[in-house]
Amino acid sequence: MTAKIYKPAKSAMQSGLANTRKWRLEFTPAAPKMPDDLMGWVGGGDPQTQVRLSFDTREEAIAYAKRHGLAYTVIEPKQRKRRIRGYADNFAYRKVG
């Protein structure tokens, strides 16, 4: 069983940084998900894919994976590009369009 350790990004509907500061450990699915013939819902027989563990630091998540003998991959977060602008920049003459 393999695990993925990453820091979640904020969603498109989110303006703040809530729920993006902790590291998350998720198990990768062992088998692909299949549609149910009767209901048409997509599901699988692996209950480990529903488990999500949160840790304060990357080192804690790695220590947990090592302690339980899990193979893991760490996905480093990408840094945000911040453009500091003032309100007056909305009305500047150099603005195109």
Q: How far apart are CA 11 and CA 50, in angstroms?
A: 20
**Bigger pLDDT: 89 vs 4:** 4
Local structure of residue 91 (DSSP, 8 states): G
**Would 15 be classed as within a structural domain?**
yes
Specify the residue for token string 């209950």: 47
Q: How many domains does the chain have?
A: 1
**Would 41 be classed as within a structural domain?**
yes
**Model confidence band, residue 96 (pLDDT cutoffs 50, 70, 90):** low
Question: pTM (2 decimals)?
Answer: 0.74
CB under 8 Å to 7, separation ≥6 — which residues?
20, 21, 22, 23, 24, 58, 75, 77
Q: Return the CATH number at 33.
A: 3.30.160.190
> How many DSSP H helices and E strands does the chain contain?
1, 6
**Would 96 be classed as within a structural domain?**
no
pLDDT average, residue stretch 43-64: 92
> Which domain covers residue 25, as residue numbers?
2-91
56-95 tens-digit pLDDT: 999 999 999 999 999 999 999 988 788 888 888 888 877 6
**Would 97 be classed as within a structural domain?**
no
Specify the residue for token string 């488990």: 51
Torsion angle of the four alpha carbons 63, 23, 49, 1, in this order, in degrees rounded to the nearest 10: -30
Burial status of residue 86 (CB atoms within 10 A of its CB: 0-12, 13-18, 19 or more): exposed
